[in-house]
Structure 1
Amino acid sequence: MPVKKIIALFLMQFVAVAAFAQKLSVSDLTVNYKVNPIGIDAHDIHFSWKINSQLKQTMQKTYELRLATQKELLSKNQNLTWGSGKVDTEQSVHIAYAGSPLKSKQRYYWQVRITDNHKNSSAWSEVQYFETGIMNSSEWTAKWIETEEITDGASGPVPTFFRSFNIGSPIKDARLYITAHGIYEAKLNGKKISENLLTPGWTSYTKRLQYQTYDVTSLLTTGENAAVVSIGDGWYRGFLQWNKKRNWYGKEVGLLYQLEITMADGKKQVISSDGSWKSSFEGPIRAADIYNGETFDSRLDLPINSKTTAKWKGVRVLETSLDNLIVQEAPPVIRKEQFKPLKFIRTPKGETVVDFGQNLVGWVQIKIKGKSGEILKINHAEVLDKEGNFYTSNLRSALQENTFILNGKDQFLEPHFTFQGFRYIKVTYPGELDESNLTAVAIYSDMAPTGFFASSDKQINQLQHNIQWGQKGNFVDVPTDCPQRDERLGWTGDAQVFFNTAAYNMNVSSFFKKWLGDLKADQYEDGRVPAVIPITQRRGTDGSAGWADAATIIPWDFYWVYGDKGILSAQYTSMKKWVDYISSVASNNLWNNGTHYGDWLFYTMADDRDGKAAITDKHLIAQTFFAASTQNIIKAAEVLGNKEDVIKYTALLEKVKDAFLKEYVTPSGRLVSNSQTAYVLALNFDMLPESLRPQAAARLVENIKSYKNHITTGFLGTPYICHVLSRFGYDDIAYALLFQETYPSWLYPVKMGATTIWERWDGIKTDGSFQNTSMNSFNHYAYGAIGDWMYKRVAGLNAAEAGYKKIRIEPSPGGKFTNAIAKLETLYGTAKSNWKIENGKFILDVIIPVNTQATIVFPNAAGAKITENNNAIEELKYLKKLKGDSKNESVELGSGTYHFEYLMNK
């Protein structure tokens, strides 16, 4: 055969093979929401993957998964730890491991292949892995150690622990299992073991303390090695909340350290925290506190080795139970975006202030060379006052001050065991400072961005920006209320109102799974839920309506977003305990007792002679959340197959709603509290019979109009108000609220230059003065809950079935918008809704992930000629036209990328 023909045949075969390969493939494999994790729980392993196909309407038909302790065993298909066999199912997420019990501290390799409904088969996926952690406390050889010198809980220099050890033969691999009482920074041979920050994180330490697992193979060498760990007070024993109390969990910092080294010849060497370690308080970090900041004397930043530690003191070894240890659940806190100075300011008071242009959480890095002993001090603030001076009164007792003592050399400086909330810094330094040598670094939990929302309106886009940055700044290991003043606590109410918005913006699965574990651990025996998680103290407001209901609201919303039944199983007893507690204190199913926060920070004014303050009866609110939590248990019980509980709590729900009607609703349908929040909660949680709902919605609209289209809701009413208006046909009023620019409104802070969400609607007043200094955070995400409605209603991107297995694209154009786009990276892949209006034509671009199905609702399209990629939809076999209503048309379709157009009805 001629050479040209051979080449041509080869190319044809290559193209054919390539084309076939592109028909179906598997990617983005995860275990427990993570890519190639190490140190995870061997008892709870779930696999997920995404499917790639250029063919429309593609669904998985079967999968086959295999797992082994070596890659080679997979390729040979021999001695598998587990093989699923070919499973006939569409399920491609949360596949539970179903083999023999897995071993601790073992790496496993896995891969998957699938077939689809078009009779295509994928190749085996790329090999992925996971590594189990220490599963039993008996496997720890390490002991808790503390410094020999007892501090009795007093603040002071950060202690350092040291141990040298010798490795006599070549190393195959090494794992470090480590945690601390406090927050640690660990090094091996002078190099950091990780870029993770504030480890081991904040949990309910006495019940649940995370340990981390690190692959440190590359940091070790044959011969002498040095292990160094510094431990700051952190949340464990530092200042927490506004009463300036320390030592919430203990008085002394401590270390638990287990380094397991496997040699090339298979032998093991273990270096554990024990009596052979040394300790010292003579390091460069002279003080470190989350609220107050850090003092770093770089003249003391000397190499640590066997010679320099010869005179160090020893350690105390504690015989402490390790039963509270858990694997790392949450994503680590890491460095993220960086900002250079926007401008240098000389204030009216003559102070040097730097504006970074963005309110963020983290710290400032400095490159500098000054005289030895010179002091550089940095203070942090969110805003300037009306005169343009540095403003810190709203920080209350939190100093937010970092102090660096220079050593006379070229230096790179940043803090280690603190973080600040700020946009502005005040610099105090006797020498010259080059602005190019200052960098603000944002830190937050390492959550992958999943959502994107943008529109034709610049102010709404800034609002979305502010929502995202409010989330970033307050998702530093726990979902805090604020990141700057002397508080920074995991308030349950704030977390529950914002969860849905948070889950659009980022993958918060592991973040909230860990936090919900602490909620369950800290829940009182009688079922009450603390107002703050992790708990810091008992409060009279523990069990407050809308706050404690995080126990049922977040697990259900988590399930709906991620389709993960495991979260319902894990939290189910906690959910029931909370509702059973309410039932136990309610009088004839009426929850009319207890201390509640109510509709926190609702609209009010001084000297309210006209009764315009939007006060909502706290017990009315409590009754609606009693019903909401009961409903969440019913739904969870249905998913988990607990039929008896479905019957039990369905009967309870009927009684709860009946008690609401008798106590809070007049015969004509008026609520005893004529506020936006009262009507919003009654309608959102279906507290009224259907016959009374339309007039209640009309009363809500009447109320909004009486405030000249301003929102008056606080923390509990705000997340639902636009959803309720849309549900009852008042999109126009919802858009009027969204686009309102004067106080109180979402855009008022935007107009005032905000770059994050404020705690109060009017944190800065129109005259430049401030709201109440005792509670006036400029980074507080609760009101950012409007983001959920923007994704769902403005762009129209919704889950129609748990986990987005079925999707509903239902845009609702309105307000000033001429276009809006939302994208979401679901567990199945990218879902997208992108609409615009041009000369009366509605154009909608949609992406539906493989292995899902969707319903598309076309607004104002009744009777219109709708085309998909220039083809009439009636002619397309891959679309199923549904029965429309008087305004809209709908279709069902499977995966693919689609382009729709039609002329809208006026």
Structure 2
Amino acid sequence: MTATTDWTAAWISPTDDPGPAGRRPAYRLRGELVLDRPVVAAQLRATAHGIYELELDGVRVGSDELTPGFTEYAHRTQVQTYDVGHLLAEGPHVIDALLADGWYRGQVGILRATDQWGTETAFLAELHLEHEDGSTTAVGTDATWRWSRSHILEADLIEGQREDRRLVGVEPDWQPVQVGERGYDALVTSPAPPVRAVEEIRPISVTVLRPGVHVVDLGQNINGRVRLGDLGPEGTEITLTHGEALGPDGDVTIEHLRPAMPFLPEPLSAGQVDSVVSAGLPGDVFEPRFTTHGFRYVRIEGHPGPLRPGDVTGVVVHTDLEVRGSFSCDVERLDRLHEAAVWSFRGNACDIPTDCPTRERAGWTGDWQLYVPTASYLYDVQGFSTKWLRDVAAGQWEDGTITGMAPMPVAEMTGFLRTTNGSAGWGDASVLVPWELFQEYGDVAVLEELWPTMVAWLGRAERMASQDRHPDRVAAHAVPLPHEQYLWDTGFHWGEWLEPGGEPQDFPAFIAADKSDVATAFYAWSTRHAAAIARVLGKDAEAERYAALSDHVVDAWRTEFIDAGGHVQPHTQANLVRALRFGLVPDDLRQLAADDLVALVRKADTHLGTGFLATPDLLPVLADHGHLDVAYELLLQDTEPSWLAMIDRGATTVWERWEGIDDDGVPHESLNHYSKGAVISFLHRYVAGLQRTEPTWRRFRVAPRPGGGITRASTEHLTPHGTAAVAWQQGRTFAMTVTVPPGCTADVVLPDGTTYEKGPGTHTF
């Protein structure tokens, strides 16, 4: 992380009354300069409190979107640098910027709160010029810059964008800017790729719902925007409403996207509405770049028609990540499930890992903690995750609490919502995400950088476990039992959030409930990982301490949650999965626990019963304990709750809830949450059979586990050393091809148990 403090430019702001929150305009800012001698190189660096877009002499600078990005602005505001030497010659030049609220001042999170990091937007830019004689010149934002309102009348990331195209090119009423003292200490560069418009999608249909109302179906749920051509005669006003689902009448519905939580007095706006007034100019288009939406469908009202598919383009917007992994097989619905999971991640990789691109757009720590192993197989997420982890660290409280989201909306740090921070499984992202970056990329630096954050987080868990007791446990026995000093049974925890049928009806009771089975399990898991991290960092004393602490916590969990008959309690699918995955069950009881898990699956008529935290591990745990057949039955289950029930009901992204669209076709909450899509790691690691066993894939395992009627599967993954790949097919004989990158070794296990050790190259079996 590089601080950029060598600035001579000043922060500038428009001096306008912006109007009501969520409905504020984008401002134009302009600076002028005259070059009196040639330049051989020039860099323009810029940032904002808000989001900005730059032009130099009417030419857009760069292709980055939503700059400077979403961060903990008080601690970290990112700076972008653009090479503009090719745009500069001797003579006069004009630098223009559009500045909108963005995350800094616009609506953020479930509460739709505004002005969270500040009440005034600001812009900072500086042009560094290098001349033929080696001298340099720096010119930047200062009191000579001017501002005006723009043709963008309203711009909010959630609510939407409203434009009057008739104002484009109209000479503005320029006003002097206000110069502010905001400092430079928080300015940093980002290790993450920028957000960009990465793909365009043509609609699969445009339907006339009624006169003047069209419904566009992109055929794919995305995060992004619409580019609309043929805007009609001058003065035509067109409204675009973006949604993930259609109602029974074939119209776009967004009712399920309105935040409606127990702590809200009433449901809030779903937003996602853009509008434009046409200038009547041939070739003019509307493409809002200061907002994004999560949508598959668009209702277009006011267009005189006819509206053709070629007039509408879906523009996919997300962090420009490099593709690293793929999968295919001969079961078409599984390929569609994999594609839906990939699209769900793409829709939620917009500068930070969000939970959904619609209702909240929040960087929930638990969601990324459980999905990052899947994401790192699909894409290069090293810089993306590192950037986000720095917001996790910046937002950590003095007592070690990791906030539930990063960046953390300020409004959600007040009242009872403040108490929902510090949840096990969520705060553990501070340990488990850096560990995954080390395993995948060999990134030791991120372990070193986040080590103080991990220590503070685990110190909080240790204090809470050793010093506090849950009221229910106190009531049961006033004197604590010896093992209870290692039970983490206080504080708020989301637990196994959103198990099928497990939505809390009484939120205060849910908050107060004892979830020590989950919290203590993560306490054991993260301290074990902290010991491994300490060993990598050469911190031998810390490694020994955390290893011993983890052993004590495991013993405490066993004492509390394994009954006299050797059965895990609470006796739920999620708790059994977690106990087996985290090594909480003694070796002599592991098969019993696995068999108990199968019994619960069968009791649910062969349906899963896990929520957020345990779902990624459900199928691997079954497969690793002699129940591969049950794992495949769950994978291919097509009645709710299941993954294929989503696919069969038309999902092109993964739903937040198992019943995201119910039997009556009614949508519920987000239809684009990647967390349950972590199941596709089973496709990579078990169906195709490619598993990393050493950091950076220096050694990996190829062990396909055919089943479920699948007769062909393949996967590729671009490791730091090159492509690792496996492709197999099963007919009268089993045939497989394996590719091993340079410097790597593969342990190959055929379905009949035959094993080989293979070095670099392509091998056939």
Q: TM-score, normalised by structure 2?
A: 0.92
In 1, the alpha carbon distance for the partners of 2:303 and 2:10 equals 47
Q: Which residue of 1 aligns with 2:673?
A: 780
Q: CA deviation at 1:617?
A: 6.5
Note the alpha carbon deviations across 1:679-701, whole angstroms, 9 max, x for none. Answer: 00111101121111111111111
Q: CA deviation at 1:328?
A: 2.3
The reply to whether residue 406 of structure 1 matches residue 255 of structure 2 is: no
Gaps of 5+ in 2: 259-268, 467-484, 506-512
The reply to whether residue 577 of structure 1 matches residue 450 of structure 2 is: no
In 2, the alpha carbon distance for the partners of 1:200 and 1:215 equals 16
Amino acid in the other structure paired with 1:750: I
Specify which of 83, 86, 107 is matched with residue 218 of structure 1: 86
Q: CA deviation at 1:398?
A: 2.5
After superposition, where does 1:165-314 map in structure 2 within 5 Å? Answer: 165-281=33-149, 283-302=150-169, 308=171, 311-314=173-176
Check the 8 A contact 1:299/1:406 in 2, yes or no: yes
The reply to whether residue 836 of structure 1 matches residue 729 of structure 2 is: yes
In 1, the alpha carbon distance for the partners of 2:225 and 2:89 equals 34
Tell me: CA distance 1:136–1:745, structure 2 relative to 1, closer, same or farther (3 Å). closer
Check the 8 A contact 1:348/1:388 in 2, yes or no: no
After superposition, where does 1:139-538 map in structure 2 within 5 Å? Answer: 139-149=6-16, 151=18, 154=21, 155-281=23-149, 283-302=150-169, 308=171, 311-347=173-209, 351-396=213-258, 397-410=269-282, 411-432=284-305, 433-485=307-359, 487-536=360-409, 537-538=412-413
Q: Which residue of 2 aligns with 1:809?
A: 702
Check the 8 A contact 1:820/1:836 in 2, yes or no: yes
Q: CA deviation at 1:157?
A: 1.7
Check the 8 A contact 2:431/2:454 in 1, yes or no: yes
Specify which of 552, 557, 567 is matched with residue 431 of structure 2: 552
Amino acid in the other structure paired with 1:530: T
Q: Which moved more, 1:246-255 or 1:339-348?
A: 339-348
Tell me: CA distance 1:430–1:460, structure 2 relative to 1, closer, same or farther (3 Å). closer
Check the 8 A contact 2:690/2:715 in 1, yes or no: yes
Check the 8 A contact 2:4/2:187 in 1, yes or no: no
Q: CA deviation at 1:605?
A: 7.2
Tell me: CA distance 1:605–1:654, structure 2 relative to 1, closer, same or farther (3 Å). closer
Q: How many residues align?
A: 721
Note the alpha carbon deviations across 1:379-429, whole angstroms, 9 max, x for none. Answer: 111111234232110121122111111111110220020001111100112
After superposition, where does 1:745-784 map in structure 2 within 5 Å? Answer: 745-771=642-668, 776-784=669-677
Tell me: CA distance 1:495–1:256, structure 2 relative to 1, closer, same or farther (3 Å). same
The reply to whether residue 849 of structure 1 matches residue 741 of structure 2 is: yes
Q: Which residue of 1 aligns with 2:446?
A: 567
After superposition, where does 1:501-900 map in structure 2 within 5 Å? Answer: 501-536=374-409, 537-538=412-413, 539-587=418-466, 588-604=485-501, 618-771=515-668, 776-839=669-732, 841-860=733-752, 888-900=753-765
Amino acid in the other structure paired with 1:229: A
In 2, the alpha carbon distance for the partners of 1:655 and 1:412 equals 64
**CA RMSD, 1 decimal:** 1.8
Note the alpha carbon deviations across 1:713-771, whole angstroms, 9 max, x for none. Answer: 00011011111112212111111110111111111000101100001111111232344
Q: CA deviation at 1:268?
A: 2.1
In 2, the alpha carbon distance for the partners of 1:891 and 1:463 equals 32
Query: What secondary structure is seen at the aligned counterpart in 2 of 1:780?
Result: coil
Query: What secondary structure is seen at the aligned counterpart in 2 of 1:540?
Result: helix
In 2, the alpha carbon distance for the partners of 1:150 and 1:489 equals 28
Q: CA deviation at 1:264?
A: 2.3
Note the alpha carbon deviations across 1:132-174, whole angstroms, 9 max, x for none. Answer: xxx551x211111111335488542211110111011222010
Amino acid in the other structure paired with 1:508: V
Check the 8 A contact 1:293/1:399 in 2, yes or no: yes
Amino acid in the other structure paired with 2:763: Y
In 2, the alpha carbon distance for the partners of 1:430 and 1:452 equals 41
After superposition, where does 1:31-110 map in structure 2 within 5 Å? Answer: 41=2
Q: CA deviation at 1:186?
A: 0.5
Check the 8 A contact 2:30/2:97 in 1, yes or no: yes
Note the alpha carbon deviations across 1:98-154, whole angstroms, 9 max, x for none. Answer: xxxxxxxxxxxxxxxxxxxxxxxxxxxxxxxxxxxxx551x2111111113354885
Larger Cα Rg: Structure 1 or Structure 2? 1
Q: CA deviation at 1:352?
A: 1.9
In 2, the alpha carbon distance for the partners of 1:751 and 1:150 equals 50
Q: CA deviation at 1:322?
A: 0.8
Q: CA deviation at 1:363?
A: 0.7
Check the 8 A contact 2:689/2:704 in 1, yes or no: yes
Query: What secondary structure is seen at the aligned counterpart in 2 of 1:412?
Result: coil
Amino acid in the other structure paired with 2:642: S
Check the 8 A contact 1:382/1:778 in 2, yes or no: yes
In 1, the alpha carbon distance for the partners of 2:303 and 2:763 equals 63
Q: Which residue of 2 aligns with 1:118?
A: none
Check the 8 A contact 2:401/2:457 in 1, yes or no: yes
Amino acid in the other structure paired with 1:577: A
Q: CA deviation at 1:813?
A: 0.9
In 1, the alpha carbon distance for the partners of 2:20 and 2:34 equals 35
Query: What secondary structure is seen at the aligned counterpart in 1 of 2:486?
Result: coil
Q: CA deviation at 1:430?
A: 4.5
Check the 8 A contact 2:4/2:188 in 1, yes or no: no
Q: CA deviation at 1:329?
A: 2.0
Check the 8 A contact 1:832/1:847 in 2, yes or no: yes
Q: CA deviation at 1:498?
A: 0.8
Note the alpha carbon deviations across 1:190-241, whole angstroms, 9 max, x for none. Answer: 0111111000000111001110111011122210000001111000000112
In 2, the alpha carbon distance for the partners of 1:456 and 1:208 equals 47
**Percentage of pairs with the same residue:** 36
In 1, the alpha carbon distance for the partners of 2:711 and 2:515 equals 40
Tell me: CA distance 1:351–1:366, structure 2 relative to 1, closer, same or farther (3 Å). closer
Amino acid in the other structure paired with 1:378: L
Amino acid in the other structure paired with 1:368: D
Check the 8 A contact 1:617/1:673 in 2, yes or no: no
Check the 8 A contact 2:212/2:303 in 1, yes or no: no
In 1, the alpha carbon distance for the partners of 2:4 and 2:615 equals 45
Check the 8 A contact 1:152/1:251 in 2, yes or no: no
In 2, the alpha carbon distance for the partners of 1:525 and 1:728 equals 42
In 2, the alpha carbon distance for the partners of 1:894 and 1:531 equals 44
Tell me: CA distance 1:838–1:375, structure 2 relative to 1, closer, same or farther (3 Å). same
In 1, the alpha carbon distance for the partners of 2:335 and 2:760 equals 29
Check the 8 A contact 1:172/1:264 in 2, yes or no: yes
Query: What secondary structure is seen at the aligned counterpart in 1 of 2:216?
Result: strand
Q: TM-score, normalised by structure 1?
A: 0.78
Check the 8 A contact 1:150/1:252 in 2, yes or no: no
